[in-house]
Structure 1
Amino acid sequence: MKYVIRFASACALVAAVAANAHADTLTIATEGAYPPFNTTNSDGTVSGFDVDITKALCERMNAQCTIVAQDWDGIIPGLMAKKYDAIVASMIVTDERKKKIAFTNHYYRTPLSIAVPKDSDITDAQINFKGRTIGAQGAATQGIYAEDHYEKAGAKLNLYPTLDEANAELKNGRVDAVIADKFPLLEWINKASDDCCKIIGDVNGTDADAAIAVRQSDNALRERFNKALDEIVADGTYQKISSKYFDFNIY
């Protein structure tokens, strides 16, 4: 009987260790095409604010994390198919997305902004762009906003797989304006060598939360992320990371 009990206890211990090892090994997806938040380097690695925040959170959770790049169109399907455990890719929380996946608390907030060519006659970010052509990243909140507010009002809407492609179309004069999250749009304009474009303002009422996405069944993981996020904000780690990319508060 003692042998049976000891054998059962040993099996339970092995199972617990295996479960913990699994829980502390995570795969995190980001887009890799959304600087300064996430970008793909020449050697195939990813870097940026999202990546640095991910590494800080994983360290705080004592988790071994692998960060992978995933095209935006497939990033939610990949999570639901269990290709990875979470998404840290500047994803905006929306009611539509919450029908499929769950979100942590926000890790930054952003409005939508409008960029136009330097010599554009468009000066008001609040217009409906009727008769104009506006570009945006497809399957993203800016694309959805443009469909609901501009295309229905008579604007022509061109959607692109990445923000970089939308910005290139603006630079080349193929669209009259681009709508996007403010911070990556500002990053692109500030780093452009030809001074082609400018931001004319934020779109009223579009301030939104960017958060980490997990599967709806992974509430324990969501809470681990929330706890770790609270800790890195409280001890200054978040601000240290943020200051590498921004000279203003995005939290």
Structure 2
Amino acid sequence: MKKVIAGLALLSTVSLSAFGAENDVLRFGTDPTYPPYEYKLADGTLAGLDIAVGKAICERASVKCEWVETGFDGLIPGLNAKKFDAILSSMAPNAQRQKVMDFTQSLYQDDTRLISAKAAPLGSNAEALSGKNIGVLQGSVQAKYALEKWRTQGVNVVEYPDQENIYADLANGRLNATLVVATAGQAGFLAKPAGKDFAFSGEVVKDPVLASTSAIGLRKGDEATRQKIDSAVSQLKQDGTISALEKQYLGAL
């Protein structure tokens, strides 16, 4: 995943016409409710690991970044409707998504884990979760997995439009657990005061639908955008920028 794209001189000639209405703008669709990857500061400014990486990509590609905020389950429809040029929102490039869209090279490694109260640890399987209320982010691969594998076995899977509301309902007892990207759960909830009485529960959840990496989503066949972004990502990996940003936003996870 870290190989450097060859022929940068050739890539510099690739048209940027895929980058929105202006050829010097790259529009990213994102759902800013998933810290530490994408979230809003008190003043409304977008922040997070994906946001920082996106800005670095735009700088390397010599284009201007624009961000289009969209609910997670609306990102793929928005991309295909050309509301933005790429999805940068902690999206896993699983096999089902690859049927309808393309992806860049991977950005980060992500496992899926269950979070529950320390006082009430749970196994991360349908038998252990039967009758429990499990919150998932609508449109995520975690939601797809839970709906297909757990709901049919008596687990009450509750979909939410944003992850922050899941954490709130978990903290106040409306949910027994949430299924989430581990790094997001650690930095976005467990490391905060509201998450002090909670912890990862059970084993890492593994399934083909739960791709263990995240990448930038693209429209099918948009090779110009893919090459431009991949070139920038390769440079950012090679010079350590992405690793440094991961450490900044995720800590020693």
Query: Per the shorter chain, which TM-score range?
Result: 0.7 to 0.9
Which of the pair has more CA radius of gyration? 1
Q: Is the 8 Å Cα contact of residues 113 and 181 (structure 2) preserved in structure 1?
A: yes
Decide whether aligned partners of structure 1 residues 35 and 194 sit closer, same or farther in structure 2, where only a CA change above 3 A counts.
closer
Output the amino acid matched with 1:217: G
Query: Equivalents in 1 of 2:221, 2:132: separation in Å?
Result: 43
Cα distance in 2 for partners of 1:182, 1:139 equals: 17
**Where does residue 205 of structure 2 map in the other structure?**
203
Q: Percent identity?
A: 29
Q: Which runs of 4+ in 1 moved over 4 A?
A: 17-21
- The question of 1:240 aligning with 2:239 is answered no
SS of the aligned residue for 1:23 comes to coil
Secondary structure (helix, strand or coil) at the match of 2:196 reads coil
Residues 139-165 of structure 1: CA distance to partner in whole angstroms, max 9, x if unpaired? 111111101221122211111111111
The answer for the alignment partner of 1:68 in structure 2 is 68
1:135/1:157 contact within 8 Å kept: yes
Give SS of 1:150's match.
Answer: helix
One-letter identity of the residue aligned with 2:139: A
Residue type of the alignment partner of 2:108: Y
Question: Which protein, 1 or 2, shows the higher relative CO under an 8 Å CA cutoff with sep ≥ 6?
Answer: 2
* 1:230 shift after superposition: 0.8
CA distance in 2, matches of 1:144, 1:185: 18
| Contact preservation (8 Å) 1:102, 1:216 | yes
* Partner residue, 1:191: 192
Aligned counterpart, 1:87: 87
Deviations 1:38-62 (A, max 9, x none): 0022332211100000011111111
Q: Does 2:221 correspond to 1:222? A: no
Aligned to 1:212: 216
Provide the C-alpha distance between the structure 2 equivalents of 1:68 and 1:45, rounded to a whole number of angstroms: 13
Change (3 A) 1:130 1:231: same
Aligned equivalent of 2:176: 176
Deviations 1:183-223 (A, max 9, x none): 11111111124623211242245451200011113111111
CA distance in 2, matches of 1:119, 1:111: 23
Unaligned runs of 5+ in 2: 1-14
Contact kept? 1:131, 1:156, Cα under 8 Å: yes
**TM norm structure 1:** 0.85
How many pairs align? 233
In structure 2, the partner of 1:12 is none
1:18-57 → structure 2 map (5 Å cutoff): 22-57=22-57
Segment of structure 1 superposing worse, 71-80 or 30-39: 71-80
Counterparts of residues 79-158 of structure 1 (less than 5 Å): 79-122=79-122, 124-126=123-125, 128=127, 129-158=129-158
